Amino acid sequence: MATSDAPTEYERVDTATLDSPMRPVEVKRSILGTMWYIMRKYPVLPGTVLVILVIASIIGPSVAPYQRDIGPVGDRHLGVFRYSELPAEKQDAPRYSLWPAGFHLLGSDHIGRDVFTRVLHGARISMQVVLVSLVLGMFIGVSLGVVSGYYGGIIDEVITRIVDIWYAMPFLMVALIVVLIFGRGLTVLLFVLALISWTAFVRVIRAQIMVLKQLDYISAARVNGASDFRIMFKHLVPGILNTAIVVGTLSTSGLILAESVLSFVGAGIQPPTPAWGVMTNEGRDYLTIAPHQVLVPSTAIFLVVVSLNFLGDWLRDRLDPILRQID
């Protein structure tokens, strides 16, 4: 195969004009080239998707054109970009007059509810669930990681062992058992997702703390009479905050996946609340006649998770290149 022998392309530089060998090479780009360069350097597309998600989750439910849980059954399974076929008085009226009457941007579902409206509501639910459980999991994980790395010895051994056992448990199984024992509800779901997310923090942060605590400024703090608590949370935590943010971003996509899987299985958000997993599950019986009912929420999950993965990778390379080796 000859392709690999091909010499790498170098920029053509007139060496005579260089005043220092270290001078950066100036690259000339066309407008399209610049756009491509920016897109590769910064997560523009993932950022856009996530900004849309955040905006949708904040104002989406209030600007959504139709009602969330009620729709005219006569309008069921309308395709994407379709107008209602019912006589005007039987249609569900849009919530504001700017919206074309009877127009369903992303179609309607099996009981005539507007899919676009429900996807907007679903964005808020996803964001709520993930943010709360992430903060909860981050708090537990970071605290345990710091304590484990700082004290070492028997405390470290116990915490590490618990994390190991936790890894051996299939998460869906644990989640199902917890949810079905404590009942289906938002609080239980948040609790379960927090239980899933905390372990990722412990290992990474424990390893970092073990390095950090050897440094001189920690000894200095101790000589000055700082308590263990003060050293851990005043002096050590700022040092691992970047890592925590990166791990948090990387595990957000996992949490969204977990939430959608649980909702799909029936152990998470309960219908009629339109979490994307619930919407997919409701639509799967109608795959032959109304595939958009499955494809729209699936695409929403997929786009958000892809974007979060990209953003997480980018943040990791930016804030914490060492983590790259752990992955």
The site for other proteins (CB under 8 A) is made up of 1-5, 161-162, 164-165, 168-173, 176-178, 180-182, 253, 257, 260-261, 264-265, 277, 280-281, 284, 287-288, 291, 294-295, 298, 301-302, 305-306, 309
Nearer to other proteins, 66 or 276 (CB): 276
Cβ-based nearer residue to other proteins, 86 or 261: 261
Question: CA-CA distance, 27 to 24, in Å (whole number)?
Answer: 9
Closest approach of Cβ 270 to other proteins, in Å?
15
Q: For residues 208 and 188, what is the distance between their CA atoms, to the nearest angstrom?
A: 32
- For the CB of residue 255, give the shortest distance to other proteins in the complex, in Å: 12
**d(Cα 111, Cα 48) in Å, to the nearest integer?**
32
Please check whether residue 201 is in contact with residue 138, taking contact to mean a CB–CB distance below 8 angstroms: yes
Please say which residue, 208 or 280, places its beta carbon nearer to other proteins: 280
Joined together, the tokens standing for residue 117 give 């409206």
Q: In the complex, what is the shortest distance from the CB of residue 297 to other proteins, in angstroms, rounded to a whole number?
A: 9
Distance between CA atoms of residues 105 and 108, nearest Å: 9
CB nearer other proteins, residue 101 or residue 177: 177
Alpha-carbon distance 228 to 235, whole Å? 10
Minimum CB separation of residue 321 from other proteins in Å reads 15
If the CB atoms of residues 237 and 257 are measured against other proteins, the closer one turns out to be 257
**Of the two residues 57 and 280, which places its CB atom closer to other proteins in the complex?**
280
For the beta carbon of residue 93, count every other beta carbon within 10 angstroms: 14
Provide, rounded to whole angstroms, the least separation between the CB of residue 233 and other proteins.
Answer: 29
Nearer to other proteins, 16 or 27 (CB): 27
Give, to the nearest 10 degrees, the angle between helix 115-151 and helix 237-265.
140
Residue 60 Cβ vs other proteins, minimum distance, rounded to whole Å:
21
